[in-house]
Amino acid sequence: MKINEIVIVEGKDDTVRVKQAVDCDTIETNGSAINEKTLQAIEHAAEKRGVIILTDPDYPGNKIRMTIEKRVPTAKQAFIDAAVARNKRGKIGVEHAPLDAIRDALVNISTPFDSDVETVSKELLVDLGLIMGPGARERRSKVCNNLKLGYCNGKQLFHRLNAFGVTEEDVIAALKHGG
């Protein structure tokens, strides 16, 4: 499978693993040590070919994703579930993910669209128990997994749902769906 966009990953091991799964070019952020020169390279790549962010499904990976997203709001997003990106010692990373999970993430990318219209309200997320209250984290995790959004806290969920144009009906269906 050939990916035309440049895939943004954290490090060399991620590049090796992603290239085992698909035919693509990558840019490595050097983990959370991402610097201005790398951000400029990502901006240039986004202008020329487009970029897909595929960082580790953990806190540092999410922080890197948000840093890139601020600079390149048009970046496409690919997410791998932390449960499948874990090695035997419990370490989480793209480099530990099965090849089919990487392919699936790169096929099911989320593309932000330019709109000031909220497709999902905070009130709905509260009403569905996705923000605040007992069990919110588990319900949010289920919705994020079913919608291929990666892990999100409440604020990130609201932002991603609206950035990717997910509808209220999609959220309700994802909450009802098994998994």
Give me the domains of the chain, ranges plus CATH numbers. Answer: 2-107 (3.40.1360.10), 122-176 (no CATH)
Average pLDDT of the chain to the nearest whole number? 91
Average pLDDT over residues 131-159: 89
Give the separation between CA 105 and CA 135, rounded to whole angstroms: 26
Average pLDDT over residues 104-131: 85
Q: Is the pLDDT of residue 11 over 90?
A: yes
pTM of the predicted protein model: 0.79
Q: pLDDT class for 80, splitting at 50, 70, 90?
A: very high
Return the beta strands (E) in 54-116 as ranges: 76-77
- Distant-in-sequence, close-in-space partners of 73: CB < 8 Å, separation ≥ 6: 112
What sign has the CA pseudo-torsion 121, 50, 41, 78?
A: positive
Average pLDDT over residues 126-135: 92
Q: What is the pLDDT of residue 115?
A: 61
Give the separation between CA 18 and CA 11, rounded to whole angstroms: 11
